[in-house]
Structure 1
Amino acid sequence: MYATNMNSDLKGVVERISGMYFRIESILSLCMDGFMKHKVAMIDKANAVSLAIHDEENELIGLLSDKAAKATEDKYLIKTLMAVVAHIEMATNGLDGILRCVKEKVNEGVLFSDKGVHEISHLFKETLEITKTAGDAFLTRNEVLKKHITDKYISLGQTVDAYSEEHEDRLIKGICQPRSSSLYLNIVDSLMKVVGHLQQATDKIF
């Protein structure tokens, strides 16, 4: 838990950062639904949430920078919170890339193989679970949650490596077309960037 004697401004920042994690969950859920149901409207909603995160990030970095310049206490906490916000911003940049790919997939009517759809769906669900855990870890600074996120990140990397090999086989056999291959690889890469930055954000608070 964060110190009970933390000033009210920093408590407000912690609450706002917690809200950013919740918004990332919302983007992932909307994007996954848009991907599975081929609905651009869900992607547009997710884009609106993403813009809100970017606006929040700009406000918080400005506020924390001002506090860091004036503070005689809590400087380490302020710098930590700035680092967390920066990683959330970079995770959101990864989400933006996924949203673009899913929107292109829907608008162009690009089809994925059943296996490809299953793999992307699984990665979305795993990323969503990691995001929820990261949000809880941010608020509680629970070491068990931190370890869980690290373990999941490593496990997900291994899963992606296996998926990449299977994807190459599908491409060689002609099951996967070049256009769908490009979108698939970009989505997978961006999901791993999201998870990677959430994992790094978690490391910063311990």
Structure 2
Amino acid sequence: MDKQAGEKMTQVCRSVSEMIEMVFEGFRRPTMESFREVEEAMNTVRKYSTELTGFLISKSSSSEEGREWAKPYLSIASCFDRMTFNIEGIVDRLKSKAENHILFSERGVKEVYDLFHEVMEILENLLGLFLTQDKLLAQRIEEKGRSAFRMISRYAEAHEERLIQGVCVPKSGPIYLGILECLRGIIGHALEVSAKILSLSSSP
């Protein structure tokens, strides 16, 4: 892996990880201040991501070899952009939840808590993978990601049951399920990044 590119990607990964922690805090304590802090963090991530993309383009030559060199790095940068897009989706839903005074059931809150913790652990491991290129750590990320996907599917089904039983109100459904899908997206892109890191670490 190119050292400079690796350092810049690590910077973006760290910023995304910090941002998801702030979003989790916004879920726990939804205030305009917490949302403002997340938006500031989002601007920082976009700045680092733009710098990363610019660096990669400037370093790659116009030759076919140069373009091939840049492809996996640009793919990682794109994954981080899409993670940020999913985080934006969560923030939008949290704002709507707060503005419309929508409450989740106790079980629904716990499920979102659980998934945030899974995502934060995956991103923490991903940050470690940038630094170590450890295959066992990549395997752990893959396993954690697949497990989280199964959790999301179970939680979505459980939510439908709660709706039928009248435990959850219908207007909470789109917000709850939207948050789950955004978290699924973040996990999916993290798995893509993990695979790319391993590919780059094994390249000559």
State the 1:187 CA deviation.
0.2
Task: Give the aligned partner of residue 10 of structure 2.
Answer: 18
Is residue 55 of structure 2 the alignment partner of residue 63 of structure 1?
yes
For residues 182 and 19 of structure 2, the distance between their equivalents in structure 1, rounded to whole angstroms, comes to 13
2:88 is aligned, of 96, 105, 108, to 96
Match of 1:82 among 71, 74, 98: 74
Q: Where does the alignment leave 5 or more consecutive residues of structure 1 unmatched?
A: 3-9
Does structure 2 retain, via aligned residues, the 8 Å contact 1:26–1:46? no
Matched, 1:192 2:184: yes
Is it true that 1:111 corresponds to 2:103 in the alignment?
A: yes
Deviations 1:141-199 (A, max 9, x none): 11011100111111111111111111001111221112211100000000010010011
- Where structure 2 has 5 or more consecutive residues not aligned to the other structure, the ranges are 199-204
Number of matched residues?
198
Q: Which letter does structure 2 place at the counterpart of 1:202?
A: S
Q: Tell me the TM-score normalised to structure 1 length.
A: 0.89
Q: Deviations over 1:23-53 (max 9, x none)?
A: 1121111111111122231122111111221
Shift of 1:116: 0.4
Instruction: Determine helix, strand or coil for the equivalent of 1:205.
Output: helix
Are 2:176 and 1:176 equivalent residues in the alignment? Answer: no
The amino acid that maps onto 1:78 is A
C-alpha distance in 1 between matches for 2:52 and 2:20: 22
User: Could you tell me how far apart the structure 2 residues matched to 1:193 and 1:147 are?
Assistant: 19
TM-superposed CA distance for 1:19, in Å, is 1.4
2:70 is matched by which residue type in structure 1?
I
Q: Tell me by how many angstroms 1:107 deviates.
A: 2.2
**CA separation in 2, counterparts of 1:170 and 1:190?**
21
Which deviates more from structure 2 when the two are superposed, residues 100-109 or residues 62-71? Answer: 62-71
SS of the residue corresponding to residue 32 of structure 1 reads helix
- Determine the structure 2 residue equivalent to 1:129: 121
Q: Secondary structure at the match of 2:61?
A: helix
Alpha-carbon distance between aligned partners in 2 of 1:55 and 1:98, rounded to the nearest angstrom: 20
What is the letter of the counterpart of residue 157 of structure 2?
Answer: E
* 1:50 counterpart SS class: helix
Q: Give the deviation of 1:97 after TM superposition.
A: 0.5
Conserved 8 A contact 2:60-2:69: no
Distance 2:147 2:14 in 1: 23
What is the alpha-carbon root mean square deviation over aligned residues? Answer: 1.8
TM-score, with structure 2 as normaliser: 0.90
